[in-house]
Amino acid sequence: MNTRMEHDTMGEIAVPADKLWGAQTQRSLENFPIGEEKMPGDLLRAFGVLKEACAAANHRLGKLDQQRCQLIQDACLAIRAGQLAGHFPLAVWQTGSGTQTNMNCNEVIAHYGNQQAGTDLLHPNDHVNMSQSSNDTFPSALHIAAASALHERLFPALEEMILCLQALEKANKDVVKTGRTHLQDAVPLTFAQEISGWRSMLEHSREMLTLSLNGLYELALGGTAVGTGLNAPKGFDKAAAEEVSKLTGLPFRAAGNKFHALAAKDALVFSHGALKALAADLMKIANDVRWLASGPRCGLGEIFIPENEPGSSIMPGKVNPTQCEALTMVAVQVMGNDTAVGFAASQGNFELNVYMPLLAYNYLQSVRLLADAMNSFTQRCLAGVKPNREKMAENLHRSLMTVTALTPIVGYENGAKIAKKAHQENISLKEAAVSLGLFTPEDFDAAFHPEEMI
């Protein structure tokens, strides 16, 4: 492998000749050969936004000349477009402040800019990192990445699923089925009413996630090392936040208290809590779907779902609810991520949290998994759900809990006697009611209308 020599304050080190990173990135690459998890692409693109915004702010405030500012911004544009993805090799499991990823960005931008200029105009620290510290850039990039991921990935997938459920509701308003509580038969409802519960869960999750954006819009930029703003010019925090907003179209703002912004990660915990709530709702919906579709002959069998692929390597003709299984596995992963996020956020010792790469990895993984799984589940399962009307009608009329319609006439205790006799003797409610002398056949037929119990 061809190499070139790069140097930092610790001396010289060999770097692959075809890579744009420098000495500090190389040291991190060699010192942290841990795991396979690399810094998420969404975070690196957010750093591209952040560094471009900081260059613009420094130029506005008279700290950075136009030529260097433009070189930095051109490099950031290439990062945001994914053109330099091969130059960001670092593991998640590195310094807890994310310093080495910040320097990875600084070095790549500086080397790219200098190549474009044909001369060494950019220094990673003096120019690209001007008015910044890793301690305020990493949490800011994390907030930019988190808020952007919600808008660009999660909300569109959530909206598509909500619209699909709305269509299913409309198509199934006249389908009456038995309800179930405690996995036991309960009184009837329409299939549309059951679906409306699923839809409302997602709408409430969307509201909670939208509420969590307020905290994510706060940026730590301008706090530099410990929150005092050392080496950042007056007004840099507001100017940088304004530039980030221009680039993203989102209302980012300077954090009012930089000591809080550096040390606490409560906004991320709050937002990931909303992701966990969404995961819990998706778990419930997917489980309902696979229970209702269970069978095809020995389960509930009340709905049909798309048959996407063979389900067994040994049982011919078997088809499984695989989209439900994928979605529930994602839900479990997100719930696990939430535990990690909460614990990591509690470790804000003194002026800095040093679990930020883990926070970034887990939060952004949760968003990506949820968005991808919702898209797949909506398109490959939910959109193809059809009611098994015959089975629903059969279960409705066999359900013992439809006896509830009779209690206003004969009372709760007599209603219980009818239900128990029907169950014990495996006869219909009508037969039990007539046998007990509580109804004539004609009176029973006049009083008993399960379809009207909704």
Residues classed as catalytic: 182, 312
d(CA 319, CA 399): 28
Angle between helices 322-345 and 356-380 (to 10 degrees): 160
Beta bridge partners of residue 189, listed in sequence order? 177
d(CA 177, CA 57): 62
The CA-atom distances, in angstroms, between 233 and each of 122, 136, 229, 230, 352 are: 20, 14, 8, 8, 21
Enumerate helices (H) and strands (E) in the chain, giving the number of each: 17, 8
Q: Which two tokens stand for residue 216?
A: 């994510």
Beta carbons within 8 Å of 376's beta carbon, 6+ residues apart: 323, 326, 327
Half-sphere exposure for 171 (CA within 13 Å, toward CB):
12
Q: Which two tokens stand for residue 357?
A: 């790469």
Under a CB-based contact definition with an 8 Å cutoff, are residues 132 and 237 in contact? no
C-alpha dihedral (314, 317, 321, 325), degrees to nearest 10: 10
Residue with tokens 């008993």: 448
If you compute the radius of gyration of the chain from its CA atoms, what whole number of angstroms results? 30
d(CA 407, CA 45): 64
Q: Which two tokens stand for residue 211?
A: 């509420």
d(CA 201, CA 196): 9
Residue 346's SS3 state is coil
Q: Which two tokens stand for residue 361?
A: 């990895």
Beta carbons within 8 Å of 112's beta carbon, 6+ residues apart: 20, 74, 75, 78, 84
Q: What angle do CA 374, 379, 381 make, to 5 degrees?
A: 90
- The residue among 223, 343, 207, 347 whose CA lies nearest residue 271 is 207
Q: What angle do CA 10, 13, 18 make, to 5 degrees?
A: 140
Under a CB-based contact definition with an 8 Å cutoff, are residues 426 and 397 in contact? no
d(CA 66, CA 54): 13
